[in-house]
Amino acid sequence: MTGVEAADRFPDARFVSGFFDPMLASHAARLEELSADRTVVVALADPPDPLLPALSRAQLLSGLRAVSAVVLPGDSVAAGRVEIREESGDLERRKSLIERVHGRHAG
């Protein structure tokens, strides 16, 4: 779905941005909280050196009850409506997780 389609279909939606790469249980819990009072549309962002392609992340997010629609990265309409962005430490936590997983598989 494009940002225009999402905005038309869900005019009062809460647009949320994130990498969701990897998708964590805490992401699902937070999206569930955010959907309590408004429809949630996720505007996917592309992380540096992604683990999963955007389409795979969109499919995972689409399976969550809390998410009504997912907009793929690069959609300027969706980006202009985003209310919540990645927390400042998300990239560092992601990098740490990747290093830990790689370390487990190396030894």
pLDDT along the chain (107 residues), means of 10: 86 89 89 94 87 93 96 72 60 79 79
| pLDDT at 31 (0 to 100) | 94
Q: Residue 21's domain spans which residues? A: 3-106
**Domain containing residue 15: CATH number:** 3.40.50.620
Number of domains in the chain: 1
Helix count (H) and strand count (E) of the chain?
5, 4
Compute how many other C-beta atoms are within 10 angstroms of the C-beta atom of residue 25.
7
Compute how many other C-beta atoms are within 10 angstroms of the C-beta atom of residue 106.
6
